[in-house]
Each structure stands twice: as structure tokens, then as C-alpha cells.
Chain A
Amino acid sequence: MNVVVNGRAFELADGATAAVAVQVLTSAPSGVAVAVNGEVVRRSAWDSTPLADGDQVEVLTAVQGG
């Protein structure tokens, strides 16, 4: 299936979870938050939240600012 992670298209295996979408970007996900189609997915639910074809995933972290 095709999902968009942080604005880039990725092909992931069917049944891939939010955790998999995070792993395509970073292997050190401390300080990271995930939203799928605009809804925040709690860290504890990453492994149990399957993605669907066309999902928009945002993976955010803290950067210098403000």
C-alpha cells in the first residue's frame, strides 16, 4: 500500500502500522509524535494502529526554535 509520510510517498507492506511509518524516518523515536490523517496516535498505540492505503502520516519532533 502507498502512504504519505511527512509529505513523501512510501510503499509499505499491507498491515504496516504507525510504528513502521516512524521507522522509515528514524530509528531513535524518543521525543517523536505521530498523527495519522490529522489525529494524534499515542506512542502506546503505534504498534496496534494499522495504516490504510492513502493515509497521511505526520511524524514530528522538537527542533531549535522560538
Chain B
Amino acid sequence: MDDPLVIAGEKFASRLIMGTGGAPSMDVLDRALSASGTEITTVAMRRVAPGSGHSVLDLLAGRGIRVLPNTAGCHTAADAVRTAELAREALGTRWLKLEVIADERTLLPDPVELLDAADLLVARGFTVLPYTSDDPVLARRLEQAGCAAVMPLGAPIGSGLGVRNPHNIELIVEEAGVPVILDAGIGTASDAAIAMELGCDAVLLATSVTRARDPEQMAGAMRHAVSAGRMARLAGRVPARRYASASSPPASGEPQSG
């Protein structure tokens, strides 16, 4: 791996983390995951339905993709800790995407409960990857609490609005000593590229792929967009300027004779 993503000491070649929510079928999900090249994929914890059949876990195990359970649906730190403990027991992983949601209309993180939950879960030995608002101060506090990454939103979950506050994302990136993973709000490939150009270490997305007209093709687009954005970040973009700067030498003197 030339340029691995490193989270909690573990290396990944892919900088695209996929969620599994919203796919119309397991078959479509399977093909989208394959096309995305992802090595980490989120799942939610829910009640076992009687007689439930083919599991998303079988699919991920078959592809050798790391499972990252989330605490989606939790509204308090206590809820999140309970769900985290169940996820660790069910899936045998200490890794956790921590989500503590304030309300159903915005699905924005509740910052107070989120930080409380992060403190509690780090103390219990979890590797905590918190979904957070794009607040640089909260990101700093989450890192200080011992989180293994910070995952600011680009825009509300499922909105597809892209990166609404690139300035804040840049501020988070400038200061962070842990990976910054842009989580939520990606609508299309250019949004993912922008997140990476801003300096994010990875992008986490689900809806933009799973609810695309062609999820497999969009997964491939996201894979290339994340890779392209990363390369552009490393390459260093030219400064934006108000006026033209000629890219050909000035047309002065005699035309060159052939």
C-alpha cells in the first residue's frame, strides 16, 4: 500500500467507507460493495426478526470486508453504550461508529450526549469513530476524549447536499491528529472528491450509492472520486485567482520558422 488510510494502527488501501443502508436488495448491495472497493462497511443493530434469512453479515464475511457497527437510532449516551455493548458481543469487534442523534427531522448529532458517550465508550475499551457535526471545537474535544477518528458531516444524513461548510471541514483537518472521515451528505462523485481535496482522510457514504439509479455504477464513480480527490490533495492545487494567467508563452516577435 503506497498511501494507506491508518485508523487505530490498522491500514486500509481504500479510503472509501460504505454504509449498507438503503440498498434495494442484497444482490445489488453485494455488487455495489464490490465496485466500491471498500474495506470497511457499517451495519446497524436491530432486533432479530423471527425466521430471518440471509444476513448482511454473511455477505460482508464473504467479501472479507470489516464490519463497523453503528449506534444509529440512539438518542442518549446511555442508549449508545447499551447498543455498543450488544454490537461488540454480537460481532466480536471493538470498533464502533458512534451516532447519537438529536431528533428525527434533522438527524443531526446531539453534541452533549455524543461527547458523553465517547468518554464512556473509550473507557470501556471501544475504538470509537464518532459521527459529529462540522464543529472544529467538538471535533477537538472528541479527539481529546480518545476517539480513533472524527467523522464530521458534510450535510444532514441522506440529504445529498454535499459539503455545506468546507471552511469548517478545513479547520477540522488542519488541527486533527486522528483521521478525519467526511460522513454524511455526499450526493454524487464530485462531493466525495471535494471532501478529499479539502484534506479529509476518507469518505463514508451510503445513500448516494444505494439509492442511485445504478448503485453499482455509482459505487465505482465514488471509488474513483475518492481516489482522484486524494491524489489532487497530495499533488497540491494551484491557487485560485481572479484574472487570467496565460498558460502559453506570449506571442511576441517572429513566428518560429519550421
Interface, chain A (partner B; CB < 8 A): 6-7, 22, 24-26, 30-35, 38, 40, 42-43, 58-66
Contact = CB atoms under 8 A, between A and B. Distances in A.
Nearest to A24: B50
Contacts of A40: 82, 85-86, 89
A63 B68 CA distance: 11
Nearest to B99: A66
17 contacts: A22-B48, A25-B50, A26-B50, A31-B57, A33-B45, A33-B87, A33-B90, A34-B89, A61-B46, A61-B55, A61-B57, A61-B90, A62-B43, A64-B56, A66-B19, A66-B21, A66-B68
A62 B82 contact: no
Which 9 pairs between the two chains have the least Cβ-Cβ distance? A65-B44, A66-B42, A33-B90, A62-B43, A33-B89, A66-B70, A64-B20, A33-B86, A66-B19
A59 B51 CA distance: 13
A47 to B, nearest CB: 15
B48 A66 contact: no
Given A62-B43, A64-B23, A64-B44, A43 B89 contact: yes
B82 A35 contact: yes
Q: Is the interface on chain B under 10, 10 to 19, 20 to 34, or 35 or more residues?
A: 35 or more
A32 B29 CA distance: 21
Interface string B41-67: 011111111111001110000000001
B91 interface: yes
Contacts of B52: 26, 61
B139 interface: no
B97 interface: yes
Contacts of B22: 64
Which of B19, B46, B48, B56 has the largest count of A CB atoms less than 10 A from its CB? B48
Interface string B88-121: 0111000001010000000000000000000000
Contacts of A43: 89
Which of A42, A43, A60, A63 has the largest count of B CB atoms less than 10 A from its CB? A63
B215 interface: no
Contact of B44 (A31, A59, A66): A66
B221 interface: no
A26 B55 CA distance: 12
A4 to B, nearest CB: 12
Nearest to B184: A66
B48 A6 contact: yes
